[in-house]
Amino acid sequence: MLRLTNVYGPRERWLQDPAGAPFNYQKVVPTFIVQALGGKPLPVFGDGEQSSEYVYVGDVVRAMLLAGTRPVAGEIIPIGTGRPVRVSELADGFWP
């Protein structure tokens, strides 16, 4: 079993509904990209200290292909960077 962290990459759907809409959530990476491209401020909720591991979808695909070649069953394999990133740190990375 592969346990994926926060996956991001091309063609990711970005929901434009209000953040309070029912059954809607905004993923931070595409939200930051759309906001930055529009010259708008990046929305950081709370104190920005929330953290997650972000992993590129191409890296996840490679991990899945490699996992398919292993004769292991019943094992949980974490797929991520191993390095949590704070939302505030991620936001700072969008602007030089």
pLDDT at 75: 84
Structure tokens at 32: 């930051």
Report residue 1's pLDDT band, with 50, 70 and 90 as the boundaries. Answer: confident
Listed residue (95, 89, 78, 90) closest to 27, CA to CA: 90
The per-residue pLDDT for range 34-71, each reduced to its tens digit, is 888 888 888 888 899 999 999 999 999 999 999 888 77
pLDDT at 31: 83
pTM of the model: 0.75
Provide the total of helices (H) and of strands (E) in the chain, helices listed first.
3, 6
How many angstroms separate the CA atoms of 50 and 48, rounded?
6
